Structure 1
């Protein structure tokens, strides 16, 4: 998209120089002050997982979890949260251009994977549509935790497939090591002309009680480079009326701009803390491959492949290109206290989020989404009871959602969720057990003027049991069993109309019931000297799995209907590392990993459903026959990856590659996606200063083979490949 000063997307406030100046000045001012810490490498197995109310490290938990922190997080940080965690075993990312990437955990995404900001929901609308971004900035994170497998026990039905918890420390819970500490980073990139600046500060008063946090980030990127044509060869050949090859070399309308900032203040005492914080997140990004105006002005009879007909015409692109401006303001209150009667600790979290999301068609406003939410969480950790350490929790959420505009395919709704849970653990010799239960009550009140069905209420109950057997100090086995339930969301119940992001007419079913997942998992972890190995296999059987089915009807676009049937997910993942040398040449480590998931409907034969496609004041009625078996759509492909790491004195470097297999286990009406290999490399030089701070210069390469890569789980796979070869470079300062 052209970056003129007249478009809503590209209107700039020129904040980058301010962030740059702040990022450079703070370390210099503070360079002579004493400090008691260094930026040391982090042992990820020993990091405490904050997503669990029971204090545990990643190594100690009986449930599968992955953690990114320290240098590993610095190397993985990307424009989206999904891309940041996408190199972890069992975790990939959705893709709707560089501004949108949501985590996919073991094949589950959308409303089945909860995205959390240190234990509370993000408050955005990223589950409503695949072109909506997550409102959490990964560059400002201290650590990122991925809970694999159902996390409904802790976070409700929206986490039936897993949860990703981003810990940013925006409300301090303890005094800092020095009166003032923090970090700053400046970076640039070649593939998209990236310019990013960030800075964060944490400080403590002289008496150690008043603690503050501040952070700010500004990012600008242009349209990114691609190895070949934006439109895939298969899509081009499938459209005989489309003679032009469209854009090549650069993907139009893929620019991005993000601003984020936060301020938090806490009072910290001997037994606990109380703190408040306020944050903002503003992002403007293009939606490549889409032009609403083009679809409205021309009756082609097919979907968004037509968007490339006039990419070479700058005027047309300016008038019809779709961009999104999202703005979120969030206030939080958090507190914690130790030794509260029969409880060892109590923690309270409260967040109020005001979110607005505007979709522009050129300069014109298309659709506006408003989402105001309030969420509260209480966690009480009790003293040992009958040999069990445990935590009791209460969670409450209130969400008011509104969509205004011609393309508002979901009516306004108010959602109220209340949940109560208990989780406990105990050890018996070499065995460690964890059990828990949760019950949720959910209610959705829908706008009667636009509703296709009545208000709904649901009850969901989840149970979990897991065990870890420490066979010896080097080897342990884990077993997990879960029964988890998820209630339908408003989009699945009440959608009725054209969903431009997917280029289809989307129809909800107000009669949907709760889906139930029964999971069994077996895991192994072994470490001995320089060797580490982790592996797991899992099976999930769903009753009444909710999915978006292809009906085979084209009525103003392909018609897809939300429905439910039984399904199963089978998968496996493994990761191994070997520190094979440590000598005068440095320390050398080799890491390999792989994952695979297979998902399909388990029924046989066919079943019929009745659907009504809205057309003004009347409907077109159809009876559709759906197959009860076959593959589920948009399932992430199998992968095999490896990485070689080297460290010596102030230097560290790595070279990695991930092979994404061809995905040809596709659903009816879905096309296969070719495989591809992504090669990346990292180089950093680290300098510790006499005052206890540090400087770091880095160089990161991505897609070094310049391969054409298309994400199978993306609705834009035939319109928007991943970026081509790119190099990012910059400097970090720690103080």
Structure 2
């Protein structure tokens, strides 16, 4: 069972002509306090918390040499806890000593960015850059001892009267070695152009260089993860015989060079959008399966976060036709191929191809849609994976909207998913065989926009 509580506060402000040379200034701030407990019966196994402060300032400048753009700065301060600890129901035993509790992982990130755009007749040019500075510190849990008088006297004989200080210092030093502070300075830049050929046709081409710093779990995982039914080790942990182990986590920065080609048609009854992409990724971080144990009858995986060079290529698109002003039909699909470059193997948990159709109809306040999608069998699997069978999903939605006043409305809806009641296994899941998709399901709800 999950007990969850989340509170969020948002602050938004917009100003026109606040500063010389800038036509618009936008301020955004938020505070999020999230916590959830994972409980089995009356026993508390895990508690995850995440407290995040985020602030962002965007300033849109007046045209310069025909360019319009936005410069900004963003600051994020977050404290996360909960990974590697899933025995909170077990009390700190008598006759012991050591660090007690779940450590806090504090992430502090400062980013600056700039986006620019200019039109040259039928050609639109866009460019963007962003620089971030991120630091993650791991807080040391409190140290405690429950040795009792007799054992404490022995420790006095062995270590002297300052035995508590000595043992705590040793434990803290070992903790800091296992959970070091990690700093990254990722940089990203992109440039792209769109040629508007007329009659709603356009073609776009873009190139992007993106750097991504590993996340908290990718860095510091060192324990059981109940969600994936696995034991995980992060990048800072040393594992003999594995590539990139023992390398400083600060030297691992996921770097992507990507090319995207997009074809669009937006006017007339027939419309489409088709995208092709190719990505070359250095130090791609993923969870590599080392082995699986089945002693309990339930597979338990040993996963190690690993960085390796990879490449991705794929296509996605949609073709639609407006049958009448109130009804439309669309075909959609996507496919991605991913491989490790440094070894003759596929990447794990890559989604298979998908192809589907959707019908939409609106009659005044009443609207509905019917969608059918086929997910293909995934056979391009990593050497330690098993293929996943394909499946068909039929979903439908019926809704009724009441407009109260401008920008305010109430919508009542009924949505059914997996109406064919298919047994569907998701290849991207760590526990695909133990946790298939939900069967036939109907949801009745209400949405209020204000």
* Structure 2 residue corresponding to 1:504, chosen from 199, 218, 230: 230
Q: CA deviation at 1:646?
A: 3.2
For residue 367 of structure 1, what is the aligned residue in structure 2?
A: 46
Deviations 1:505-550 (A, max 9, x none): 2111222311100000000101342110110100011011111112
- In 2 relative to 1, CA 580–339 (structure 1 residues): closer, same or farther, beyond 3 Å? same
- Checking the alignment, whether the CA contact within 8 Å between 2:54 and 2:74 is kept in structure 1 is yes
Q: CA deviation at 1:713?
A: 1.3
For residue 96 of structure 2, what is the aligned residue in structure 1?
A: none
Question: 2:138 aligned with 1:446, yes or no?
Answer: yes
For residue 343 of structure 1, what is the aligned residue in structure 2?
A: 22
For residue 659 of structure 1, what is the aligned residue in structure 2?
A: 374
1:534 & 1:454 partners in 2: Cα distance? 46
Unaligned runs of 5+ residues in structure 2 are 89-100, 141-171, 237-247
Q: CA deviation at 1:705?
A: 1.6
SS in 1 for 2:384: coil
Deviations 1:363-420 (A, max 9, x none): 1111222222211111111111122101111011111223384459984322111110
Deviations 1:192-241 (A, max 9, x none): xxxxxxxxxxxxxxxxxxxxxxxxxxxxxxxxxxxxxxxxxxxxxxxxxx
For residue 673 of structure 1, what is the aligned residue in structure 2?
A: 388
Which is greater in Rg?
Answer: 2
For residue 474 of structure 1, what is the aligned residue in structure 2?
A: 200
Q: CA deviation at 1:335?
A: 1.6
- In 2 relative to 1, CA 415–652 (structure 1 residues): closer, same or farther, beyond 3 Å? closer
For residue 377 of structure 1, what is the aligned residue in structure 2?
A: 56
Question: 2:77 aligned with 1:334, yes or no?
Answer: no
Q: Which has the higher contact order (CA 8 A, sep 6+)?
A: 1
For residue 168 of structure 2, what is the aligned residue in structure 1?
A: none
Q: CA deviation at 1:426?
A: 0.5
For residue 216 of structure 2, what is the aligned residue in structure 1?
A: 490
- In 2 relative to 1, CA 704–353 (structure 1 residues): closer, same or farther, beyond 3 Å? closer
For residue 285 of structure 2, what is the aligned residue in structure 1?
A: 546
* Structure 2 residue corresponding to 1:576, chosen from 310, 319, 326: 319
For residue 122 of structure 2, what is the aligned residue in structure 1?
A: 430
Deviations 1:228-268 (A, max 9, x none): xxxxxxxxxxxxxxxxxxxxxxxxxxxxxxxxxxxxxxxxx
Deviations 1:424-467 (A, max 9, x none): 10000100111111111111112454351421211111111011
Q: CA deviation at 1:629?
A: 3.3
- Checking the alignment, whether the CA contact within 8 Å between 2:27 and 2:58 is kept in structure 1 is yes
Deviations 1:527-578 (A, max 9, x none): 3421101101000110111111122375995321111110011110110111
1:563 & 1:692 partners in 2: Cα distance? 48
Q: CA deviation at 1:692?
A: 12
Question: 2:72 aligned with 1:387, yes or no?
Answer: no
2:188 & 2:448 partners in 1: Cα distance? 45
| Matches for 1:516-535 after TM superposition, within 5 Å | 516-535=255-274
1:730 & 1:504 partners in 2: Cα distance? 36
Q: CA deviation at 1:479?
A: 0.7
TM-score, structure 1 normalization: 0.49
TM-score, structure 2 normalization: 0.78
| Matches for 1:78-89 after TM superposition, within 5 Å | none
- Checking the alignment, whether the CA contact within 8 Å between 2:110 and 2:134 is kept in structure 1 is yes
1:374 & 1:423 partners in 2: Cα distance? 24
* Structure 1 residue corresponding to 2:76, chosen from 375, 394, 397: 397
| Matches for 1:687-706 after TM superposition, within 5 Å | 698-706=413-421
- Checking the alignment, whether the CA contact within 8 Å between 1:410 and 1:491 is kept in structure 2 is no
Q: CA deviation at 1:658?
A: 0.5
Deviations 1:258-284 (A, max 9, x none): xxxxxxxxxxxxxxxxxxxxxxxxxxx
For residue 418 of structure 1, what is the aligned residue in structure 2?
A: 110
1:472 & 1:691 partners in 2: Cα distance? 34
1:406 & 1:573 partners in 2: Cα distance? 40
- Checking the alignment, whether the CA contact within 8 Å between 2:44 and 2:87 is kept in structure 1 is no
- Checking the alignment, whether the CA contact within 8 Å between 2:410 and 2:446 is kept in structure 1 is yes
- In 2 relative to 1, CA 694–522 (structure 1 residues): closer, same or farther, beyond 3 Å? closer
SS in 2 for 1:491: helix
Question: 2:332 aligned with 1:593, yes or no?
Answer: yes
| Matches for 1:600-615 after TM superposition, within 5 Å | 600-603=339-342
1:687 & 1:490 partners in 2: Cα distance? 44
2:292 & 2:406 partners in 1: Cα distance? 68
2:284 & 2:367 partners in 1: Cα distance? 46
Question: 2:446 aligned with 1:724, yes or no?
Answer: no
- Checking the alignment, whether the CA contact within 8 Å between 1:550 and 1:668 is kept in structure 2 is no
Q: CA deviation at 1:684?
A: 4.4
2:364 & 2:7 partners in 1: Cα distance? 43
- In 2 relative to 1, CA 480–685 (structure 1 residues): closer, same or farther, beyond 3 Å? same
- Checking the alignment, whether the CA contact within 8 Å between 1:391 and 1:423 is kept in structure 2 is yes
* Higher mean C-alpha deviation, range 414-423 or range 647-656: 647-656
- In 2 relative to 1, CA 717–406 (structure 1 residues): closer, same or farther, beyond 3 Å? closer
For residue 457 of structure 1, what is the aligned residue in structure 2?
A: 183
For residue 644 of structure 1, what is the aligned residue in structure 2?
A: 359
SS in 1 for 2:421: coil
1:445 & 1:695 partners in 2: Cα distance? 45
Deviations 1:62-106 (A, max 9, x none): xxxxxxxxxxxxxxxxxxxxxxxxxxxxxxxxxxxxxxxxxxxxx
1:579 & 1:592 partners in 2: Cα distance? 12
| Matches for 1:184-195 after TM superposition, within 5 Å | none
* Structure 2 residue corresponding to 1:631, chosen from 325, 328, 346: 346
Unaligned runs of 5+ residues in structure 1 are 1-322, 604-627
- TM-align CA RMSD: 2.8
1:683 & 1:324 partners in 2: Cα distance? 30
For residue 32 of structure 2, what is the aligned residue in structure 1?
A: 353
For residue 76 of structure 1, what is the aligned residue in structure 2?
A: none
For residue 240 of structure 2, what is the aligned residue in structure 1?
A: none
- In 2 relative to 1, CA 423–730 (structure 1 residues): closer, same or farther, beyond 3 Å? closer
1:536 & 1:666 partners in 2: Cα distance? 24
SS in 1 for 2:431: coil
1:469 & 1:325 partners in 2: Cα distance? 51
- In 2 relative to 1, CA 555–475 (structure 1 residues): closer, same or farther, beyond 3 Å? same
